[in-house]
Amino acid sequence: IRQERKQDIKDVVDLKKLDSLRVELLGKKGPITQALRGMRDLPADERPTFGQFANTVRDELQSAIETRRDELKKAMLNKQLASEKIDVTLPGKPVAQGQPHVIQQIVDQIEDLFIGMGYQVLSGPEVEEDKYNFEMMNLPKDHPARDMQDTFYITKEILMRTQTSPMQARTLEKHDFSKGPLKMISPGVVYRRDTDDPTHSHQFHQVEGIVIDKHITMADLKGTLELIAHELFGNRFNIRLRPSYFPFTEPSVEADITCFNCGGKGCAVCKYTGWIEVLGAGMVHPNVLEMAGVDSEVYGGFAFGLGPDRFAMLKYGVDDIRNFYLNDVRFLTQFSKKG
């Protein structure tokens, strides 16, 4: 019987059944307990031998149960480990990666170019004072040229900046010329009450640039503008300078680049001119220098304001500026840096 029961214990295949077998064999109603209880009916001289034997059987069964319990637990654990095994060599699920906005990519490229030439890169407030956006840019309160930049006013003195040019005044005011020339670019968002169309948005980007020193000429400006065009477009496009007017530069120019859409032949995108205007520039007006406390008899230089939105359109052949602001990922992911 002892051997048979031990075999029963070995044959059990799950822990629950093992536990009921333990209750059955060693519990209060089990054969061992019963036998030990029945001992009092035995003659006194047989009791010690019987008792010893019963205890030995109980201990053996007990240890057989424990051994089997360990075996079953181990088997269960192994089964679980096998089922949860991870194959680290399997290819993972691709994680969608973000990227800088296409306009930011153009701005980054322009920043890299100018940092390489020793310019500092500064950013200014989008909510700006009338004083910096217009007055210190040589556009007093009722100057007709204010109409060139239809403005979102917040109060009479505070507005959404219409251009990054106020950063000219802000940096000129602070610059210490005894420490060297001023060479700065300032990228950022500007706002105008323009009617949205394929080449105009009421919110767009500009990168302002200014260089002030003792002997800066128009040739330095032209060279710098050509460098930007060359850096961004290689030799695929022509650039032309046109005389223009800005109150804060004298003389002033506007730069156009061959229309990406028609290659210069003329189409609706470029209003049949073959050119797209991408920036305004000129030699900084003495009034702007003087108002910022810089001696215009000694110092002078050039400034420019370019539109990265237009550059992005040209570079990638995007025929509607509004696409940049709709944030449709199907549009934006086309301009991955790798691609």
Interacting residues toward ligand FA5 by CB under 6 A: 149, 163, 165, 192, 194, 200-201, 204, 206, 246, 249, 252, 277-282, 303-305, 307, 309-310, 321
Residue 302 vs 335, nearer CB to ligand FA5: 302
Residue 8 vs 126, nearer CB to ligand FA5: 126
CA 188 to chain centre: 17
- Grouping H, G, I as helix, E, B as strand and the rest as coil, residue 236 is coil
Min CB(266)–ligand FA5 separation in Å: 19
Min CB(338)–ligand FA5 separation in Å: 27
**Residue 134: half-sphere exposure toward Cβ, Cα within 13 Å:** 23
Q: Percent helix, strand, coil in the chain (nearest 5)?
A: 45, 20, 35
Residue 70 vs 150, nearer CB to ligand FA5: 150
Residue 252 vs 258, nearer CB to ligand FA5: 252
Q: How far apart are CA 161 and CA 151, in angstroms?
A: 8
Q: Which two tokens stand for residue 218?
A: 């128009």
Residue 21 vs 168, nearer CB to ligand FA5: 168
- Tell me the DSSP string of 149-177: S---BSSSSEEE-SSSTHHHHHHHHH--G
Min CB(178)–ligand FA5 separation in Å: 25
Buried b (16+ CB within 10 A) or exposed e, 129-153: bbebbbbbbbbeeeeeebeebebee
Within 295-339, where are the H helices?
A: 308-316, 323-326, 329-332
Min CB(115)–ligand FA5 separation in Å: 20
Of 168, 182, 74, whose CA–CA distance to 118 is shortest?
Answer: 182
Residue least distant from ligand FA5 (Cβ)? 307
Min CB(88)–ligand FA5 separation in Å: 51
Residue 204 vs 237, nearer CB to ligand FA5: 204
Residue 237 vs 246, nearer CB to ligand FA5: 246
Q: How far apart are CA 218 and CA 90, in angstroms?
A: 62
Min CB(244)–ligand FA5 separation in Å: 8
Min CB(142)–ligand FA5 separation in Å: 19
Of 274, 200, 285, whose CA–CA distance to 242 is shortest?
Answer: 274
